Structure 1
C-alpha cells in the first residue's frame, strides 16, 4: 500500500497488534508461480522477503523428523502443523493431498443426552448428538456441545434405533433420551464458552465409535475435560 508505514521498520511500536507473515508466493513481477513446485516458490520468496516475515518451516526427511516438528510446534502454542509436498504446485481454491493439516487429537468418552433430527439426506435419522460429561459433585451431566460428524449411514440407522428406544421426551426437532449411551468423541481441543454451563465447548468434535462396554458412570468427568486446557 503506497504511503503506508512499515509496521516492522524503524520506529515501529514494540506492541504492534498485527504482524504480517507470508507462507507462499504465487506471482512476482509478471511471473506466474502457481504451477511451480513449492521448492521453487520458496526459493523465490527467500530472495525477496526477509526471513522474519516468512512462516517458520522445517524440511523433514523422515517420519520421526515430522513427529518432532509437530511436538515442537504444539509445545510452542501452535494448533498444529501443515505438512506440504515440496514438489507440488499450488492448488488454488481446492484441497488436495499436497497439503495435510496435522493437529493434536484428544478423545473423550461422553454421554449422549439428546439428538436432533437430520436434514437433507439424513432426513428420518437422529443425527446431531448432544454430548455431556459427568459432574462428580452433583452426579449430573454437563453439556459440552453437539456433533453430527463421523457418522456413517449404518451408524446413523443403529443410533436412531437405540436413541428412540431410550426416549424420555421430545420437542419439534430434538429427542431427549435416557443418558445411558457412551460415545467416544475425537476433538481438536476446547474453547471457552458462555453457552454451555461447564464454561467450555468442544472444538471440531466427531464420532469415533460407541462404547457398549462402558456405562454413563464410566464416562469422562468435567474435570477430565477441563484438564485438557483451552
Structure 2
C-alpha cells in the first residue's frame, strides 16, 4: 500500500472479516491488511480492528454521537487512519468548561469528513460495539501470521504488555527481536490475571478437584514491585499509587528478597478485623491528600496471593504452588492471604462459610499446577461469591 492508509481500507477489511465464519480466513485477511500498514499506522489499525481506540472512550457516549451528526457526509473516502487518531487525541484532551461542546464539534467535523459507512463504523468503534469478529485473541494470531512468528510467543508478549496493540508494531517491524523486549521487568506492571465465576463451592471443586482456596476480599487489586529499598504500588490498570499507600510500602520493605513482583489486594479493615465497605476502602486508597490523617483513622492492610518475580527468577510460567512457596519464603505471614489447600468439598465449604462470616465477599478457588496468565480470565482461577438479587426499575436512559 502506497501513501497513508485510508479508513475505508480498514472498514473494508473489517467487513470482509465479519462476513466469514472460518477462523483461518479471518486471520489471513487481517494479516494481509496488517502487512500493508506503515509502522506509524500499526498501533492504530490493530486497535481499531480489535474494537478499541488508543484513547479509550474519551467521554464519548450515545448522546455525544447523536449531537455530533453532521449535516452531510462526503461521497468519496478521504479520511486516513492517522487523521482519525489525531482527532481522537484532541477529543480525549478536551477538558474543563466547554469540553462537551469541544468534543461535539471535533467529532462532528470528523464525521463530516467520513462517508456514511465510515461514520457508522466509527460510531460503533467509539461506543465499544464493534462486532466484526476480529477481537483480541484473533488479532494476536493475525499479528503472528503477518510477522511470521509463533502465535504463542506473540500471545505471551501481549499478556505482559497488557494488549496486542502494544506489541504489534515491534512484532511487525523487528520480528522476534522486537518481541524480546516484552520480558517481565521491574516497575513495568503486568496485566493482572482474572478469574471466571463458579456457581458455588460444589461447582468450583468439581472443576478444580485439588485446589487452593483463598479469601476473596472486596478491596483494591494491587501489584507491588520491589527493588532493594525502592517499592512502588500499582493499580490493576497500571497506575502508580505509591504515594497513597505508605502502609503497603512499609510492609513490603520487610520482605526477605532483593526484588519482587507481588499480586495482592489492599483493603481497609476495622479494629476487629472486619472489612470496611468497598467504597470506604476505595476512598482511602484513592486519597492523595492528608494521607497521614487517613492512615491513622483508616489504615490500609495488604494481603498478597501471588508472586510473579523473586530476585533473579521470573515465576509466571511456574505452577501456582511453586509461586506461593516463593512468596511464603519472602514475606511475613501476616501479609499472606489466608489459604487452604484441599480436595474435600466439605472443607472448602467450611472455609467459604468462614470467609463470609468475617465479612468478606467469598473465596477464590485456584489450580495448584496453573501458570500465571497476565491479562487472561482463566478457568484455573474461579471465584465463588455470595449471590445477591435485586429487583430494579429503569427510570431513565440516555440514547
Q: TM-score, normalised by structure 2?
A: 0.26
Bigger share in helix: 2
Bigger share in strand: 1
